[in-house]
Amino acid sequence: MNDKPAFLDSNVCLYLLGEDSPKKFTAEKLLALPEIVISTQVISENINIGIKKFKFSDEKIANHINFLIRNCDVVTISVELQMKAIEIHFSYHFSFYDSLIIAAALQSNCATLYSEDLQHGQAIEGKLNIVNPFII
């Protein structure tokens, strides 16, 4: 088992709120792993999508965000992290926001980035492996 932390993308965290039982179960299993990392971007995206797309109540969103903060290490998006994201964007041609997620995972010394949106199996800088947890 890898002893490095793992990073969760926004979409994985959102499945905790959903009705898709298999994906919700997978997200719950990932959150139970030791050393799970998210970023302030993940928190912001969960708030935005929960309110705008899913129309969840303020209480449900607040409870979800508090759960994430209690159960994950949270990386704050800094200027340096944004500069690293630009570098990743230019090198790998990901969107800027996907690059920001990747930069946060790299900064946190994560070995794995769990994401449904990125290319399963891709390695970034020889340090970070992208895994779609819903197809493994």
pLDDT tens digits, residue range 49-84? 999 999 999 999 999 999 999 999 999 999 999 999
- Whether residue 24 lies inside any domain: the answer is yes
Instruction: Yes or no: say if 77 and 105 are a contact pair by the CB < 8 Å rule.
Output: no
Q: Single out the residue of 46, 100, 38, 96 nearest to residue 69, CA to CA.
A: 38
- Whether residue 78 lies inside any domain: the answer is yes
Give the total number of structural domains in the chain.
1
What are the structure tokens assigned to 99, written together? 């690059």
Q: What is the pLDDT of residue 2?
A: 55
Residue 79 belongs to a domain with what CATH number?
Answer: 3.40.50.1010
- Whether residue 90 lies inside any domain: the answer is yes
Cα separation of 1 and 90, whole Å? 32
- Whether residue 64 lies inside any domain: the answer is yes
- Whether residue 29 lies inside any domain: the answer is yes
Residue 10 domain boundaries? 6-131
Cα separation of 67 and 116, whole Å? 21
pTM: 0.93
- Whether residue 42 lies inside any domain: the answer is yes
